[in-house]
Amino acid sequence: MLYLIKRNKFRDRQITIMDLFLPAAMALVIGLVHFFGEEIDEYTGMYSFFLVSFSAGFTVAYFFSALMPEVMRNTALPVQNASILAGFSMFYVVEEFLYGRESNLGRIREEFKEVHTGFTMLYHVAVGMILFFLAQGGREKLLLFFLPVVLHTLVNSLAMKEMHEEMLKYRYIKVITSLSVLIGVLLNHFLRVPESYIYVLLGTVAGAFVYMVVHDALDPRKERPVGFISGVLLFIALNAALSIL
């Protein structure tokens, strides 16, 4: 009997380690993309319009086909999609303050750096917590969430290349923000945040996705429709392939 108890505990520990490994590995990939965002942009700069529109197409397809229905089915809030609306509104207000008023923040650079760093970290910590949660429910949902996050980490308004130049002088800021996704994974691993709260976070991040698409991508350019449609078609093909497997 004692042997069986020990063996079951070892098996549970193995399962826990495996559950942690995949989201942690994805968090490290996102962190590396964020940390080396400027260097990556040097190689992909000539395709930046295409990448932004491709990211937008993939994200829009993911949002309407998978993310929004998932949030609606599992919402713990009295108003459906309230968390999505909150995420959209929050990103608008914060980005309006951080970017739209940047010229007025020259006198308070320290405060600007702290606000921007804190906001970026909170977003990535939330992403990490969601990665760990989705890993418990199946790799399909995890992969579909991971891909738009990576794309947005590279090309959106919170990408490393978009950070204020004063912030980029400090390597520790880049390291902290790049590790924040992994911090979120570990935080949820140890705290096991209730499912209802995670879906509120998921809805908030979904609203952020939509805002970033509107803010960064939906500004028609000659080459952008091709990228947008390519993103939509890739999501459809990937979703179909995952449903068959």
User: Does residue 78 lie in a domain region?
Assistant: yes
Look at residue 6 in the predicted model and tell me its pLDDT. 44
**Cα atoms in the Cβ-side hemisphere of radius 13 Å centred on 185:** 27
User: Does residue 169 lie in a domain region?
Assistant: yes
User: Residue 205 pLDDT > 50, yes or no?
Assistant: yes
User: Residue 89 pLDDT > 50, yes or no?
Assistant: yes
98, 115 contact by CB (below 8 A): yes
Count of C-beta atoms within a 10 Å radius of residue 104: 10
Domain span holding position 214: 48-244
Please count the structural domains in the chain.
1
User: Does residue 20 lie in a domain region?
Assistant: no
Q: Give the integer Cα–Cα distance in Å for 242 and 245.
A: 5
User: Does residue 13 lie in a domain region?
Assistant: no
User: Does residue 35 lie in a domain region?
Assistant: no
User: Does residue 1 lie in a domain region?
Assistant: no
User: Does residue 137 lie in a domain region?
Assistant: yes
Q: What pTM did the predictor assign? A: 0.82
Look at residue 46 in the predicted model and tell me its pLDDT. 73
User: Does residue 27 lie in a domain region?
Assistant: no
